[in-house]
Structure 1
Amino acid sequence: MRKNLMLLEELQELDLKIDGRHGEKQTLLDQLAALDERVDSVRRTVSEKREELALLEDERRSLEQNLITENENIARSEARQKEIKTQKEYQAVLKEVSAAKKQKSELEEQLQQKRTQIEELSGEIAAREEELASLEANIDSQKAEIQGSIDRLEQEISVDAAAKEATAKSIPASLLKRYGALREKRQGIAVVAARDGNCSGCNMNLPPQLYNSLFRTDELVLCPHCQRMLVLRQEA
C-alpha cells in the first residue's frame, strides 16, 4: 500500500501540474478572445458611427432642399408684390414673405446644427478608424506570441499526460477510482501528508490511535475529517 500511495502522490503531482497548465492555457485563450473582441468592438463602433453619419447627411440634404424651396417661395412672393393692386393683397403677400423668411431662418439654424454634428461625428469616426488600423496592425504579432505560449503549454501537458498514464498503469484500478473521486470532491487534492498528529489537507488533529496506526500498518488510512488518503511524514 505504501508503494501505491507513493505512486498516487506522484500521480497527484502530475495531475496538479496538468491542471495548472490547463488553467494557464485557458487564461491565454481568454486573452486571444479579448483581443478579437476588442477589434470587433471598435469595428462595430465605426460601422454604427458611419450609419449615424449617413443619416445625418440625409437629414442635411433634406434641410438644404427645404431651404431652396423656401428661398424660391420668398422670391415668388416678392415678385408678386410688383403686380399687386390692392392693399389687402399686399398685406397678404407681406405675411407670406414674413412666414417664409421665418421658416428660412429656422431651417438655416437647423442646417448649421446638422453640419456641426456631421463635423464632430466625422472627427470621431476618423479617430476610431485610426484606432482600428493600429489594433489591426499590432494584433497579429500579439496573437502569435500568445499562440506560441499556448503551443508550449500543450507540449508540456502532453509530456505530463504521458507520464501520468505510465504511472497510473502501476496503480490498482480500484485505488485509482477512489483517488479520482476524492480529487473531484477535494479541489484536486486526494493524497495528503499526516505530520505531527495532524492532517495537512484539512489541518485537523487526527485521533491518536489512527495516527499511530500509520507507523504500524500498510493499510490505506483516510482522514476522518476530510476523507483524504494519508501518507505518514515524519520530521527529520
Structure 2
Amino acid sequence: MQVPTEDLAVLLQMQTIDLEARQCQNDLEALPQRQIILQARAKKKQIEEKNVEIRKFFEASDNRCRMLSEEDSGLAEKQRRLQAEIEELKGDYRSVESRTRDLNGIAKRRATLEEQLSSALDELARIEDMQKKILLMLEAINKKEAEATEGFIKEGGQLKARIAACEADRQKLAQRLPADLSRDYDKIMKRTKGVAVAMLTEKACGACRSTIEPGRLSELRRQGNVVHCPHCQRLLILHS
C-alpha cells in the first residue's frame, strides 16, 4: 500500500507510544512491592487458617478447664456439707463412718481433678502463648504489607498515570490514520505483542532481521512504500 509520509510519521509515533505503554505495564507488574504484597497476603492466609485451628483448641481446652473447675467447686461444696453433717452426728458412728468414706472419695476425686486442671491450665497457657506469637506475626506481616502497598501506590500510580496518558495520545493518533491501516496495525500489535512496524534495513526486516531476496524485494516495492514482511508479516516500511 502507498502511505503518505505524514501517515508514516503518525504510525511510527503511535508504535513508540505503544511500546512505552507496554514497558510501563511490564514495569508495573515487575514492581518488587507487588510480589511482597502477594507473598504477605498468602502468608497471612496460612497464618489465619492456622489460627482458626488453634482457636478451636483453645475453646476445647478452656471448656475442659471450666468443666473441671465446676466439678471441683461442686465437690468442695459437697465436702463442706458432709463435714458439717459429721460434726452434727458425733454420736452416730455408722452415719459418721459413711460420710467419712464419702469425704475420702471426694478428696481423692478432687486430687485427681487438681492434677487434670493443672495439666489443662498448662495446655491453655501454651495455646495462649501460640496465639500471642501469631498475633505478633500478623502485626509484622500487616506492617510489611502496608509499607509495600504505600510504595506500590506511589510508584505504581505514576506508571498507571503514564499508561493512561499513552492510551490517550495513542487514541488521538489512531484517529489520524486511515481506518484500514489502523486496524491492520492493531491486529499485528496484538499478534506480536510488541513491534508491529519495522523499517527495511540493508534488505532485511528491521524487526525479524530476515533478509529479503532482491527479486522479492523488487516485487514488494511495486506494491507501495508499506508492505507486509514476507517472513514475520509485520508492517514493513520500505523507505521513509
**1:37-93 CA deviation, whole Å, 9 max, x = no partner?**
36964883696344542332112111233455567789999999x9786xxx99xx9
Evaluate the alpha carbon distance shift between residue 64 and residue 160 of structure 1 in structure 2; reply closer, same or farther with a 3 A threshold: same
Q: Which amino acid aligns with 2:38?
A: A
Aligned to 1:18: 21
**1:112-145 CA deviation, whole Å, 9 max, x = no partner?**
4322221222112222223334455565454333
**1:123-176 CA deviation, whole Å, 9 max, x = no partner?**
122222233344555654543332121221233223323432343233211100
Aligned to 2:195: 189
**1:178-200 CA deviation, whole Å, 9 max, x = no partner?**
11111112223321344344435
1:205 positional shift:
4.2
Q: Is 2:90 the counterpart of 1:59?
A: no
Which blocks of at least 5 consecutive residues in structure 1 are unaligned? none
The partner residue of 2:48 within 44, 47, 51 is 44
Task: Find the residue that maps to 2:224 and give its secondary structure.
Answer: coil
Identity percentage over the alignment? 20
1:20 positional shift:
2.4
Which blocks of at least 5 consecutive residues in structure 2 are unaligned? none
Q: Does the Cα contact within 8 Å between 1:46 and 1:125 map onto a contact in 2?
A: no
Larger relative contact order (Cα-Cα within 8 Å, sequence gap ≥ 6): 2
Q: Is 2:175 the counterpart of 1:169?
A: yes
1:210 positional shift:
2.4
Q: Distance in 1 between matches of 2:129 and 2:198?
A: 63
Q: Distance in 1 between matches of 2:111 and 2:199?
A: 88
Q: Does the Cα contact within 8 Å between 2:205 and 2:211 map onto a contact in 1?
A: yes
Aligned to 1:227: 233
Aligned pairs for 1:71-220 (under 5 A) are 107-136=113-142, 139-213=145-219, 218-220=224-226
Q: Distance in 1 between matches of 2:115 and 2:209?
A: 78
1:15 positional shift:
0.8
Q: Does the Cα contact within 8 Å between 1:32 and 1:146 map onto a contact in 2?
A: no
Q: Which amino acid aligns with 1:185?
A: R
Count of aligned positions? 229
Higher deviation after alignment, 18-27 or 46-55: 46-55
Q: Is 2:38 the counterpart of 1:34?
A: yes
Task: Find the residue that maps to 2:176 and give its secondary structure.
Answer: coil
**1:199-218 CA deviation, whole Å, 9 max, x = no partner?**
35445443432234566663
Q: Does the Cα contact within 8 Å between 1:197 and 1:206 map onto a contact in 2?
A: yes
Evaluate the alpha carbon distance shift between residue 211 and residue 116 of structure 1 in structure 2; reply closer, same or farther with a 3 A threshold: farther
Task: Find the residue that maps to 1:225 and give its secondary structure.
Answer: coil
Q: Does the Cα contact within 8 Å between 2:200 and 2:236 map onto a contact in 1?
A: yes
Q: Does the Cα contact within 8 Å between 2:10 and 2:173 map onto a contact in 1?
A: yes
Evaluate the alpha carbon distance shift between residue 99 and residue 17 of structure 1 in structure 2; reply closer, same or farther with a 3 A threshold: farther
